[in-house]
Amino acid sequence: MIKRLCIPITVLLIHTAAAHAQQSPVNPGSGTDAYPPGYAPPPGYAPPPPPPPAAGPAEAAPPVYGAPPAYGPPPPAYVPPAYGPPPYYGPQRRYPQPTYYPYPPPPPPPQNYRPFTLGGGIGFGGLNFRDPTTGRTTEQGMAYTFRLGFGLRPGLILMWDVEGTLVSHVGVTTAQTGNFAALQIFPCRRLFIKGGFGLAQSVQQDSREMWGAAGMVGVGYELFQGWNASFDIEATYTGARYNNNGNDETWSNWSLVNFAINFY
């Protein structure tokens, strides 16, 4: 049964292939449609025309240039002007090399002009006086000073000056203190001299107290001077005259070394 069906199917496939070969060219799209021998194109068949050649880019014509401009001869080469010899200025002056400091030097202290002065100090001194029982005697003790001044001009001070000495004699405390209107003069920056007149007071423990006229002279040297303070060492001598029950007595005290601080 299957064999009988394969024979007619095979014959049908052969006839179909032959008809298709007659209708289709061997090389479709070519300029000459070649067909195998024994086959002819079907009636009314015209081969397609060949494709036109590809158009390339149009070539532009080169531009036309005119004649080059006429140039003159080149400029002459630059020749620098000729200068004469330089003028003579003489030998070069040498200047001293400057000295550089890391910091500027401090300003000098004031020129001893002190509108207002307040100071005082203590030191070593002595007292020469008359004792009612033993007569004239001299003792060493403590000296003290105090001053309040007003500056008249640089190097000149008008002051109230206090000079005194305190001693102990045979167990009795004796002192003399002078109060003076004095002038203090600075002949140079640190050295000064002073002098004045006033009243002095003498005191003996459990005894009499006397007042009398007195005078004072002194000299000193300021070891330190600042803008608002100074420290000096000085020596003074004070003499006073008393009237003791109709008898004149002279007492004197001195400060051999006084250390004083002044503020101004």
Residue-range domain boundaries for the chain: 116-263
The architecture of the domain spanning 116-263 is Beta Barrel (2.40)
Low-confidence ranges of the chain (pLDDT < 50): 26-33
Beta bridge partners of 201: 177, 211
Give tens-digit pLDDT for 5-60: 666 677 677 766 666 655 555 444 444 445 555 656 666 666 677 777 665 565 66
- Give 173's strand partners: 168
The tokens for 116 are 């207002």
d(C-alpha 117, C-alpha 114), whole Å:
6
Residue 129: what pLDDT?
86
pTM of structure: 0.57
- Joined together, the tokens standing for residue 7 give 């024979």
What tens digit of pLDDT does each residue of 46-66 get? 667 777 766 556 566 777 777
164 C-beta neighbours (distance < 10 Å), count: 24
